[in-house]
Structure 1
Amino acid sequence: MLNLNIADETARLRAVVLGTAADSGPVPDPAEAYDPKSLQHILAGTYPEEADMVREMDGFEAVLKKHGARVFRPENIPGCNQIFSRDIAFVVDDKMVEANILPEREREFEAIVHVLDKLGPSQLLVPPEEVHVEGGDVMPWKEFLFVGTYTARDYPGYITARTNREAVAYLREAFPNREVKSFELRKHNTDPRLNALHLDCCFQPVGHNLAILHRESFIHARDYEWLRSYFGPENVFEITTEEMYRMFSNVFSISPEVVVSEQSFTRLNAWLESRGLQVETIPYNEVGKQGGLLRCSTLPLAREPG
């Protein structure tokens, strides 16, 4: 039996699913790209090598285990990209929600059956078909459930729009003890600097009361201003569009005192350290070429109760 418990983004991590880059298949055709950053690297001939991504993810696993986390990895599906486990499911409180992901990626959820077998029958929630939601858009934080969305009429035209209006309503019903607060994100199918694929691509809480935030990724200025005011301007690290593109907000917290970050994020890492956090820096740039980074690669299952 696995006791699911995810109350927020930073409590001490006890168990997590980390994706895998092994046997991830050949370089996709441009038409098969799920996001504009992958497309960019496919077209430029700079798409990452499997061996480099495996090495980076193994280094991430070593850091997680060093800090006492139990790490699960997906079962291997030959030729399938299984790096971003945050997309396939997410945990809020003591429930796991299966994500309604792109149809081509449904096999990825089946690859964590060894984790699902440890859950009680009431712990897995399966949303109805009209609910589109991915874990990168969902963040539990204190009394809130922050959700990144795109609800305009042209939603079906964006492969980068992953969480819809119906998902917000579903999460409100599924977690009545949470105040679900949604934020409209900018989407673009071909330009990664104009696209916030998920909420964690432009915002993330760290520590006890800090946040990383990118202004231009929010369609409505009021959403950005609410987050900046909620955390306090003095506690917010504002990232540039270039830093958003490099995934500065997609770090991963092992505890309120320890955060894993990409080694090249020197401006961010120095700020985190100046606020008293221990920053575990690792190479993760090759994984980042696919439009996700550290948080995207993880599916946290249990953190210590607050």
Structure 2
Amino acid sequence: MSLSTPNTSPFPPSAPTDLTAVEVRTGSVTLGWTAARPGCCAVVGYDITYYQAFDDVIYSAAVGNVTGTTITNYLQPGRQYSFRVTARDSLGHRSASTDTLTVVTPVTDTGPDTTPPSAPRNLTVGGVTASTATLSWSPSTDDVGVLGYQVYRFDGWFTSTLVATVPGTTYTVALPPPTPLRNLYYVRARDAAGNVSIASDTVTLPTTSTPTPPPPSTCRVTYRNQSEWQGGFVATVTVRNTGTAPIDGWTVTFAFPGDQQVTSGWNAVLAQTGAGVTARDVDWNRVLAPDGSATFGVQGRWNADDAPPTGFSLNGAVCAVD
């Protein structure tokens, strides 16, 4: 007669698999997964860890030997959360975790639109100058329609700051000064109901270096209000190449000192973010020969102040102002 030897293997359970979000609501997320396989001993329960995106606080929950649960603690509407699940056995061994599951909660459970847009993709940094860089990304999709994009700065620890809300898929940002904190940027899409997407990947911006004297100005800008009335204005902007080489492709940037908002324009592609305005050539006027110029028009509205801009840049270089 032989005696069986007890299984004293130290092997933990296998990792649970197929972690999915069965239901996502404003204040709860119902998870489901495929059960772990026992190692030495029977699986007795599962541990769930989760955290809000761009935050350093991690939450946890423990359940019995089940293949799903609903998480409600610390969840808020319109936020992004990541979840992982591990199995534990009767001797306290713990498995590896599942792959991370990331979801975003809706802003309402009862409205006509509870589906968030897709996450922006391919966030990149380009157009780097001595003081600015341009973020660009691929557009998101939505079952109703994407209203715009929110650009955030993240310090690498737990503080995110909304930098801008833009209608398109680019944004030019000032380079930050050197700092011990990281300068990470990410983007979320937003729809008309207020639902926000899962965040894009993050990118790191370079920092400004020791200031160097600006190069001599090779451009001159003239801004003229052609007409003005209470609540509205029409202005023209003339940019002149005062250098000795032609400029093939131009972008003029300036900021309104008042509360002006551009409503339309001509002879340039205009965009506005906050007080900042960007005007780009329209191909047929893209070349500025030495001593050549281009004039474009701006129509807009104002409420409290229609003071003219006092500073202009051409392709990132500061221009003289008439």
Q: TM-score range by the shorter chain?
A: under 0.3
- TM-score, length-scaled by structure 2: 0.20
Q: Relative contact order (alpha carbons < 8 A, sep ≥ 6): 1 or 2 greater?
A: 1
By percentage of residues, which structure has more strand?
2
TM-score normalized with structure 1 length: 0.21
More helix by share: 1
Larger Rg: 2
